[in-house]
Amino acid sequence: MSFASPVFLWFFMPATLVAYWVLPRRWRNGLVSIASLLFYTWGAGAYTFLLLSAIAVNYTAGLLIDADRYADRRRVRRAVLWAAVAFDLGILAIWKYAGFASQQVGALSSALGLGGSPVIELALPIGISFFTFHHLSYVVDVYRQSRRAQRSPVQFVTYIAMFPQLVAGPIVRYHEISDQLADTDRNRLDDFALGFPRFAWGLAKKVVIADTIAPVADAAFASADGDMTTSAAWLGALAYTLQLYFDFSGYSDMAIGLGLMIGFKLPENFDRPYSAASITDFWRRWHMSLSRWFRDYVYIPLGGNRHGAAKTYRNLIIIFVATGFWHGANWTFLVWGVYHGALMLVERRSGWGVVTSTGPALVFRRALTFLLVVIGWVFFRAESMGQAMNVLHAMFVPSGLGLPDAVSASLTNTRSVVLLLALLVVLLPGSFVLGRVLEAGRSWRSSATRFAVMAFAGPYAAVLVAAGTFSPFLYYQF
């Protein structure tokens, strides 16, 4: 069930909110838990049992790690932690990476003349990367004693399965939300008034902008194996750059808005990433909840930047290899991660990652960073390394200014206008984040913005959804 679907917008969300308003406060988490499991079952079917199994294992592990009888037995606590981590990563390895690994084994076997080998084919459970990271955050936070284990099964299910963030984030570290789980003393109408404009803005970003641009990117990349020209390559790369941002940030806005409507403050996930003045700055602004997760649970435990340049560079490469493969089992994602990791190393070595420039120098830095990010998105979007290299070759080796027929047909007047307007996001000040303006208080600017979103942008997006023009969110596949 997608947030941008008629079933969700006109049945599931209203029914959940009405129940949230009329039921006693102490039932709030129970309602969210049940609604979240129904939401997941709608899209995942039998894979709900996989989610429930992971919930049961990690809930039990947390209780064991935090048990008083093991308070002075660090070896026992550590053994339980590693068992839970192995279980969580094992689920991810089997369901997300086993097929890819078997393909590589088969290809190597064929290359060595040993014949083919079976290829494992498993459907990817939606949201598996996200709920796995939530489980890992929980057991590690409890082990570190930054938070006590969750005694209430209902509150634990609420944290893991909360439908606003279950299938595509933001990734919520346990210590960020543990106190909120026990706080049911909220004003329901105030929650709705705060969250609905943010949700409506996210819906408009997804349906009005991202889905409108998507056919242009699809047509351009589809031409990569045929008559792709330089113009088509750059058009496709830019279209996908904007589509991905408005799709994913739109989802994040909707998730944050939904969280507010049911009484939870979820972490921000985007901070105008295309205004970044370095790749280091970009990763402080793009998918921030993922960056924070890797920083807290991988980079810092590896030593961070505390043990000299060589180990710092090693740790950065490990992080970005993991980031690439977290997004998908494909060489294109690995190359994308290594590409960003290499750029981070260059910036760390040269000092370019520290942004102190102003005026024309800052404009140049932003333009260069945006160009580097666009190049990276080619790997992220391509279905294979061959397709990625074809697109990049066309981008940097002149091969004509015309557009293939399919790409030209996709570039309608409406899509051209939306594409140009979406490109303006690159030019806006780096400190301007409209989602935060919607929650910024009672100033006339915030009030006017909320009115415009709720009176025009949101309803127009809802009309497009009713007309059947929505598509699944891109990050559902991760």
Taking the C-alpha atoms of residue 253 and residue 250, their distance in angstroms, rounded to an integer, is: 5
* 205 three-class SS: helix
CA–CA dist 216, 236 (Å, integer):
7
Residue 87 CA to residue 90 CA, distance in Å, equals: 5
Among 210, 215, 207, 209, which residue's Cα sits nearest to residue 409?
215
Q: 226 is written with which tokens? A: 């045929």
Would residue 340 show up in a list of annotated catalytic residues for this protein? no
Give the residue from 240, 326, 236 showing the smallest Cα distance to 290.
326
Cα atoms in the Cβ-side hemisphere of radius 13 Å centred on 126 = 24
CB 13 within 8 A of CB 39: no
Q: Which of 195, 158, 206, 177 is nearest to 37 (CA)?
A: 158
Q: State phi, psi for 283 to the nearest 5 degrees.
A: -75, -10
First to last CA, the chain: 16
Burial class (CB in 10 A: 0-12, 13-18, 19+), 289: buried
Q: Which of 175, 327, 340, 393 is catalytic?
A: 327
Tell me the C-alpha distance between 323 and 182, whole Å.
32
C-alpha triplet 67, 69, 70: angle, nearest 5°? 70
Contact criterion met (CB below 8 Å) for 135 and 88:
yes
Query: Is 145 exposed, middle or buried (CB count within 10 Å of its CB: 0-12, 13-18, 19+)?
Result: exposed
What distances in angstroms separate CA 366 from CA 5, 279, 391, one per listed residue? 36, 10, 23
Query: Alpha-carbon Rg of the chain, whole angstroms?
Result: 23
Who contacts 137 (Cβ-Cβ below 8 Å, separation ≥6)?
171, 172, 173, 174, 175, 293, 297
Secondary-structure breakdown of the chain: helix, strand, coil percentages, each rounded to the nearest 5: 75, 0, 25
Residues 6+ apart with CB under 8 A from 100: 329, 330
Residues marked as catalytic: 327
